[in-house]
Protein backbone atom coordinates (compact mmCIF):
# COMPACT_ATOMS: atom_id res chain seq x y z
CA UNK A 1 0.00 0.00 0.00
CA UNK A 2 1.26 3.46 -0.89
CA UNK A 3 0.63 6.98 0.36
CA UNK A 4 -2.87 8.30 0.88
CA UNK A 5 -4.12 10.88 -1.62
CA UNK A 6 -4.49 14.38 -0.19
CA UNK A 7 -8.18 14.25 -1.11
CA UNK A 8 -9.78 10.82 -0.81
CA UNK A 9 -11.71 9.64 -3.83
CA UNK A 10 -14.95 7.82 -3.02
CA UNK A 11 -14.84 5.49 -6.05
CA UNK A 12 -12.52 2.64 -6.96
CA UNK A 13 -10.63 4.11 -9.90
CA UNK A 14 -8.05 2.53 -12.15
CA UNK A 15 -5.79 5.16 -13.67
CA UNK A 16 -4.00 4.06 -16.82
CA UNK A 17 -1.72 5.42 -19.52
CA UNK A 18 -4.30 6.65 -22.01
CA UNK A 19 -1.95 6.55 -25.01
CA UNK A 20 -0.58 3.03 -24.36
CA UNK A 21 -2.05 0.28 -26.56
CA UNK A 22 -1.39 -2.37 -23.89
CA UNK A 23 -3.12 -0.29 -21.21
CA UNK A 24 -6.12 0.41 -23.44
CA UNK A 25 -6.42 -3.30 -24.30
CA UNK A 26 -6.20 -4.14 -20.60
CA UNK A 27 -9.04 -1.72 -19.82
CA UNK A 28 -11.20 -3.33 -22.52
CA UNK A 29 -10.37 -6.78 -21.07
CA UNK A 30 -11.28 -5.64 -17.55
CA UNK A 31 -14.61 -4.21 -18.74
CA UNK A 32 -15.49 -7.49 -20.50
CA UNK A 33 -14.54 -9.71 -17.53
CA UNK A 34 -15.39 -7.60 -14.50
CA UNK A 35 -17.68 -9.22 -11.92
CA UNK A 36 -19.41 -6.22 -10.44
CA UNK A 37 -18.89 -3.10 -12.63
CA UNK A 38 -17.43 -1.40 -9.56
CA UNK A 39 -14.31 0.03 -11.17
CA UNK A 40 -14.14 3.43 -12.78
CA UNK A 41 -11.41 4.38 -15.22
CA UNK A 42 -9.40 7.52 -15.91
CA UNK A 43 -6.33 8.21 -18.00
CA UNK A 44 -3.30 9.39 -16.08
CA UNK A 45 -3.27 12.30 -18.54
CA UNK A 46 -6.70 13.52 -17.33
CA UNK A 47 -7.01 16.35 -14.77
CA UNK A 48 -7.99 13.83 -12.07
CA UNK A 49 -5.10 11.55 -13.06
CA UNK A 50 -2.64 14.44 -12.90
CA UNK A 51 -3.91 15.34 -9.41
CA UNK A 52 -3.45 11.79 -8.13
CA UNK A 53 0.03 11.61 -9.70
CA UNK A 54 0.93 14.93 -8.12
CA UNK A 55 -0.01 13.55 -4.69
CA UNK A 56 2.29 10.53 -5.08
CA UNK A 57 5.86 10.53 -3.93
CA UNK A 58 6.79 7.97 -6.62
CA UNK A 59 7.11 8.50 -10.36
CA UNK A 60 4.35 6.41 -11.91
CA UNK A 61 3.44 6.26 -15.60
CA UNK A 62 1.40 3.08 -16.10
CA UNK A 63 -1.23 1.81 -13.60
CA UNK A 64 -2.47 3.37 -10.39
CA UNK A 65 -5.42 1.90 -8.49
CA UNK A 66 -7.33 3.95 -5.93
CA UNK A 67 -9.41 1.49 -3.94
CA UNK A 68 -11.25 2.21 -0.69
CA UNK A 69 -9.24 5.43 -0.31
CA UNK A 70 -5.83 3.75 -0.63
CA UNK A 71 -3.45 3.93 -3.56
CA UNK A 72 -1.83 0.82 -5.07
CA UNK A 73 0.99 0.88 -7.58
CA UNK A 74 2.77 -1.45 -9.98
CA UNK A 75 2.15 -5.17 -9.40
CA UNK A 76 -0.01 -4.49 -6.35
CA UNK A 77 -2.38 -2.42 -8.50
CA UNK A 78 -2.54 -5.03 -11.27
CA UNK A 79 -3.17 -7.90 -8.87
CA UNK A 80 -5.82 -6.02 -6.90
CA UNK A 81 -7.62 -5.33 -10.18
CA UNK A 82 -7.67 -9.11 -10.76
CA UNK A 83 -9.88 -9.42 -7.67
CA UNK A 84 -12.59 -7.50 -9.56
CA UNK A 85 -12.62 -10.04 -12.40
CA UNK A 86 -14.65 -13.20 -12.88
CA UNK A 87 -13.00 -16.60 -12.47
CA UNK A 88 -10.56 -17.85 -13.60
CA UNK A 89 -8.93 -14.42 -14.05
CA UNK A 90 -9.54 -13.39 -10.44
CA UNK A 91 -7.26 -16.23 -9.33
CA UNK A 92 -4.33 -14.20 -10.66
CA UNK A 93 -4.62 -12.23 -7.42
CA UNK A 94 -2.91 -15.11 -5.62
CA UNK A 95 0.33 -14.16 -7.37
CA UNK A 96 0.47 -11.63 -4.53
CA UNK A 97 2.08 -14.46 -2.53
CA UNK A 98 5.22 -14.09 -4.66
CA UNK A 99 7.80 -11.72 -3.21
CA UNK A 100 7.02 -8.15 -4.20
CA UNK A 101 10.49 -7.49 -5.62
CA UNK A 102 9.94 -10.33 -8.14
CA UNK A 103 6.44 -9.15 -9.05
CA UNK A 104 7.54 -5.54 -9.42
CA UNK A 105 10.59 -6.54 -11.48
CA UNK A 106 8.34 -8.36 -13.99
CA UNK A 107 5.82 -5.49 -13.95
CA UNK A 108 8.55 -2.89 -14.49
CA UNK A 109 10.05 -4.88 -17.37
CA UNK A 110 6.72 -4.87 -19.20
CA UNK A 111 5.88 -1.26 -18.27
CA UNK A 112 9.28 0.02 -19.40
CA UNK A 113 8.95 -1.66 -22.80
CA UNK A 114 5.19 -1.36 -23.39
CA UNK A 115 5.45 1.22 -26.17
CA UNK A 116 8.06 -0.74 -28.12
CA UNK A 117 6.21 -4.06 -27.64
CA UNK A 118 2.60 -2.88 -28.11
CA UNK A 119 2.75 0.62 -29.60
CA UNK A 120 1.38 3.98 -28.63
CA UNK A 121 -1.70 6.00 -29.65
CA UNK A 122 -1.67 9.66 -30.53
CA UNK A 123 -4.55 10.37 -28.11
CA UNK A 124 -6.42 8.83 -25.20
CA UNK A 125 -9.18 6.32 -25.85
CA UNK A 126 -12.74 7.62 -26.16
CA UNK A 127 -15.27 5.36 -24.39
CA UNK A 128 -18.46 4.25 -26.07
CA UNK A 129 -21.65 6.06 -24.97
CA UNK A 130 -22.68 3.03 -22.86
CA UNK A 131 -19.37 3.09 -20.96
CA UNK A 132 -18.97 6.85 -20.70
CA UNK A 133 -20.31 6.98 -17.11
CA UNK A 134 -17.48 4.69 -15.94
CA UNK A 135 -14.75 6.98 -17.30
CA UNK A 136 -13.82 10.01 -15.24
Q: Residue 125's pLDDT is what? A: 63
CB 13 within 8 A of CB 65: yes
pTM: predicted TM-score of the whole model, two decimal places: 0.83
User: Which parts of the chain have pLDDT scores under 50?
Assistant: 1-8
Instruction: Let me know how many helices (H) and strands (E) the chain has, helices first.
Output: 4, 4
The DSSP element (H or E) to which 39 belongs, if any, is: strand 39-43
Q: Where are the domains of the chain?
A: 12-129
CB burial readout 85-108, b (16+ within 10 A) else e = beeebbeebeeeeeeeeebbeebe
CB 14 within 8 A of CB 85: no
Q: Residue 9's pLDDT is what? A: 62
Q: How many residues does the chain have?
A: 136
What are the pLDDT digits (tens) for 69-107?
Answer: 888 999 999 999 999 999 999 999 999 999 999 999 999
Amino acid sequence: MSPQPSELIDKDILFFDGVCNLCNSAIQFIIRHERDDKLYFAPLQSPLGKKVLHDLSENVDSLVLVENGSIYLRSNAALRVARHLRSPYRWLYYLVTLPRFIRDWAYDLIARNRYSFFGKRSSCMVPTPSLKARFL
